[in-house]
Amino acid sequence: MFKTFREKIALSGITVLMIGVALLVFTFISAYGFLTQNLSIMASEDLVRTFGEALAPLIETCVRIMYLGVMGWVGSLLTIRGVTIIAHTPQVTPIVQQKEAMPEQKPQPQPQPQKAKAEKPKAEKPKEEVKPQEPEMVVIPPEQVSQPQPQPKEPEKNASPQ
């Protein structure tokens, strides 16, 4: 199916990117549907009863908001990871393989005048490039976050008279 390791990495990066984008799109559609619902404000003389009736929809709303937040967070992480994988795929240089010289009989060149030889230097054959083999596995290290080291506190001197 895929000929090189690079193609496999690129496919996995694109797959992760598409899953992350799909999750983000679904999250925004869910949030839009949630926000366009008809909301009603309850009014009553009894404050305790109104609070009790409003508590259940309030909890349901909080659960939905947390659900949307987690979905958006996971979707953005997958999208970022997919872009990172695609950006770090190894670049491939074109392959130029050396051909083995087959022993053939070449016609003898005719002698040229010495002036012509001095004017025209022999053209050298261009060197052919050899492509290094592709690695079997590529490791992308996670981004490192540096945190400041805590500094030891100096002991406080008690200035109280004894």
Each residue of 56-79: pLDDT tens digit? 778 888 888 899 899 999 999 999
Residue 40 DSSP one-character state:
-
CB 29 within 8 A of CB 40: no
Joined together, the tokens standing for residue 77 give 């992480």
Each residue of 93-139: pLDDT tens digit? 666 555 555 555 555 656 555 555 555 555 565 666 666 666 567 67
**pTM for this prediction:** 0.48
Which of 30, 116, 133 has its CA nearest to residue 72?
30
